[in-house]
Amino acid sequence: MLHHRSLLAVAVLATTTFAQTTVLPTSAATVGGSTANVFPWGTTAYPGMRIMCIYDSSHFTGATPPITSPILITSLKWRANDVATTSSWVGGTYPNATVRLATAAVDYTAASTNWASNVSPDVTVVYTGSVTVNGGTGAGVGVPGPYHVTITLPTPFFYDPNAGDLVVDTEHVPSAYTGGTLPALDVHIPGVNASRVYASSMYPTANGVDSNADVMEIGYTTPAGTPATNLVIGQGCIRSYTSFYEFFSSPANFDLAGTGIMMIPASGGGYVVTQGGSFMPVGTVQTTPTALPLGDDAEVVQPLTVGTFVGPSGSWTSVAVISNGIISQAAGNTLVAAPNPNTMLAGPQTGFYSQGDFEPVGSPTGSGTIWFEESSSVITITWDNVKSWNTTGLNTFQFQLYPSGVVNMVWVSMTPLGANGGLMVGYSPAGPSLNPGGMDLTTLATTSLTLGTTDIAPLGLLAGSRPILGTNWNLTTVQVPATGVFGVDIFGVADPGIMDLGFLGMPGCQLRTTPDVIVGPWVVGGATHNYSFAIPSQPTLIGFQLFTQSAVWQVPPANAFGAILSNGIRGTLGNV
C-alpha cells in the first residue's frame, strides 16, 4: 500500500501547482508562542519519545489564504521558541525518527492516550530516518523564532480539511541524540484548537493529553486534477452514552451564561438532561454559608450533615469540591486546571463539571469565594465572583443537588477572557466512559438529552482509502458487537437521508445510502470487517458520488427489525 501511495504521490507532484505554506496554529503565524516545550526535538532526557499533535481543521480553513480543498503535504517544519537575540544553540541529530500523518478519527477535543483510536485508516508513515536540529539564534522575545527542524516528506500525504483534523505523529527510539545544545520548541496556547498526546517517562505508553501543540509550518501543494474524497455522513446505531460535555476552546465562546441545565434521574437509570434551573443567591439555603478553604488547583471534601443526595452510584455522604469547577462523590478526580474531555471521561469518581482555571479567594487578590450550603431540601456549591487565571473578570455559577437526585448547573456570569485551556461543561459517572463527542448545550432549550446506564458503541464505518479511479476503495466496519451473527455491505448512488428508521423497527438508525447493491452476507468474525469496491478507470466517472453503509444482524436482536446500521460514507470519485 505504501509503495502504491508513493508512486501516486510522485505522479501527482509532477502536475501540482507551486508549493505553499501555512502555520499551525494560525494564531501563531506572526507572533511568538505563549509558552515553550522540549517535545519532540528539544530533549535527550528520555529513552524514547512519541508526540502526537492533533490540529483542528479550522487552522486550514481559517488560514490566509483559506485552505478549503484537499492538499498534498510535502514538508514539515518546527519552530524554535521565541528567545532573546543573545540566546543561541548548537543543534544536533536524532538518528532514529519516524513521522506519521493521518486524518484524525476523532475531534481534537476527544484525543485520548489510546494512540490508535486517534487516527483514521489513512495513517501513513511519511518519513523515517535521522532528523537534524539546526543551530541558531533567537529573534527576540515575542518575535517568531527560526524554523530549526525541517523534514521533506519522501511520501507526501493527501489531506482534506473537510474530512477531519490533522494528526502529526512523531516518534524517536532510542533517543540517541548526538550534538550540542537544543532550544525549546515554540508552543501557542491561546485559541490553539489542538491537542497533544505525549509519551516521555512512560514511553511507549502515553503519559497524558494536553493542549501544548507545537508551532509548525506545513508545506503543501494543490493537486492538479480532481481529488477523490470521503465524507462521513450520519451516525451508526445502536448507541447509548452515560456522559455528555461541551468543550469551549475559548471562554469568549461560552454561551451558557444566564441559563441552567437540569439533570433529572430517568426511571430506568441514567438522566434526562434539559434546560432549566435558577440561581439561588448565597445565603438563600443557609443563613450562615460555609466558605470552603480552597486555593488554586485544590480540593476539599465537605461532609453532608443535613442535606441528602442520591447519585447514580448511591447516596452521597460528602461532596468533593475542586476549585477548578468540579464536584464529585469523593476525592480523586483531576486537579488539572485545563479541561480535557478524556480526563473527565476517565475520572474515578462520578463528577459534574463546569471546569476552567478558577482561582478563589487566597489565590489572586480580589477573587471571590466558593460557598457550601445545605438544607433538607437542597445542597448548593457556589463560585461567587471567582476570578479566572490571568484575568480581572469574575465568574459566578452554581451546582444544586436535590434529595430526588436532580442536579442543576446554573451560570450567572462568566469571564469572557483569560481561562487556561478553555472551559468545559459536562458530566461523567465513575470509571471509564465512552466519548459521545461534544455537543451544543444550547439545544437543550428545545430538545432533551437522554443518558443511559451503560455505554454502547454504535456500529461504525471508516474509509481506509479514497475512491481513486482504477483503484480499490477500501472500507472497514468497526465496533461490530459480540452478539453479531452476520452482516451485509450496502452500496448506492444517493443518500435518502432517512434519519430515523423507527417505522421499520430500527429506532435511532439512519439510512444513508440507497440499497442499489447489497454484498454478502458475511459472517461476523470479530469487532471489525473489511470490504472494498473496485473503482473503474473511466474518466467520465470523475465527480460521481458513491454511498456505502454496513448492516449487522444480532442474536438476541437489538430491535424489532433485528439489525443495526453503521454511519454512511460518501465517496466522490476522482483521478488523484
What cell was used for 536? Answer: 473503474
pLDDT band at residue 9 under the 50/70/90 scheme: very low
270: left (phi over 0), alpha (psi -120 to 50) or beta: left
Pairing of strands 92-103, 124-133: antiparallel
207/198 Cα distance (integer angstroms)? 6
CA distances from 310 to 10, 173, 290, 317 (A): 63, 50, 22, 9
Number of H helices, E strands in the chain: 3, 41
What cell was used for 417? Answer: 477572557
What local confidence, expressed as pLDDT, does residue 3 receive? 35
Reported as a single tens digit per residue, the pLDDT across 170-215 is 998 866 788 999 999 998 876 678 989 998 888 888 888 888 889 9
Q: Is the peptide bond preceding residue 174 cis, with omega within 30 degrees of 0?
A: yes
Reported as a single tens digit per residue, the pLDDT across 529-567 is 999 999 999 999 999 999 999 999 999 998 999 999 999
The answer on pLDDT for 233 being more than 80 is yes
CA distances from 121 to 117, 195, 232, 476 (A): 10, 20, 13, 8
Q: What are phi and psi of 521, to 5 degrees?
A: -80, 155
What cell was used for 250? Answer: 475559548
Contact 433, 350 (CB under 8 A): no
- CATH number, domain 230-237+456-572, options 2.60.40.1930, 1.20.20.10, 3.40.50.300, 3.90.25.10: 2.60.40.1930
What local confidence, expressed as pLDDT, does residue 416 receive? 64
Burial 530-566 (b: 16+ CB within 10 A, else e): ebebebeeeeeeeebebbbbbbbbbeeebbebbbbbb
576/573 Cα distance (integer angstroms)? 9
Secondary element (H or E) of residue 11: helix 2-13
What local confidence, expressed as pLDDT, does residue 311 receive? 87
Q: Which amino acid is at 89?
A: W
The answer on pLDDT for 11 being more than 50 is no
110/107 Cα distance (integer angstroms)? 5
What local confidence, expressed as pLDDT, does residue 10 receive? 37
- Average pLDDT over every residue of 154-161: 90
Strand partners, 97: 129, 172
The answer on pLDDT for 252 being more than 90 is no
Reported as a single tens digit per residue, the pLDDT across 354-367 is 998 888 876 666 78
- Average pLDDT over every residue of 249-259: 82
CA distances from 105 to 59, 294, 532 (A): 17, 39, 19
pLDDT band at residue 116 under the 50/70/90 scheme: confident
Contact 318, 304 (CB under 8 A): yes
Question: Could you tell me which of 413, 556, 411 has the C-alpha nearest to residue 481?
Answer: 556
The answer on pLDDT for 375 being more than 90 is yes
| Three-state SS at 131 | strand
What local confidence, expressed as pLDDT, does residue 419 receive? 57
Question: Could you tell me which of 375, 385, 452 has the C-alpha nearest to residue 414?
Answer: 385
275/443 Cα distance (integer angstroms)? 8
Strand partners, 383: 370, 397
What local confidence, expressed as pLDDT, does residue 6 receive? 37
Question: Could you tell me which of 104, 122, 101 has the C-alpha nearest to residue 228?
Answer: 122
Contact 203, 47 (CB under 8 A): yes
Reported as a single tens digit per residue, the pLDDT across 300-333 is 999 999 999 998 888 999 999 999 999 999 999 9
Across the chain, what does the average pLDDT equal?
88
What local confidence, expressed as pLDDT, does residue 211 receive? 82
Q: For residue 214, give the DSSP letter.
A: B
| Three-state SS at 395 | strand
What local confidence, expressed as pLDDT, does residue 367 receive? 85
What local confidence, expressed as pLDDT, does residue 191 receive? 62
- Average pLDDT over every residue of 406-420: 82
Stated pTM of the model: 0.68
Q: What are phi and psi of 248, to 5 degrees?
A: -105, 105
Contact 336, 297 (CB under 8 A): yes
What are the boundaries of each domain within the chain? 2-6+16-223, 230-237+456-572, 244-451
Question: Could you tell me which of 461, 552, 510 has the C-alpha nearest to residue 234?
Answer: 510
234/254 Cα distance (integer angstroms)? 27
What local confidence, expressed as pLDDT, does residue 152 receive? 94
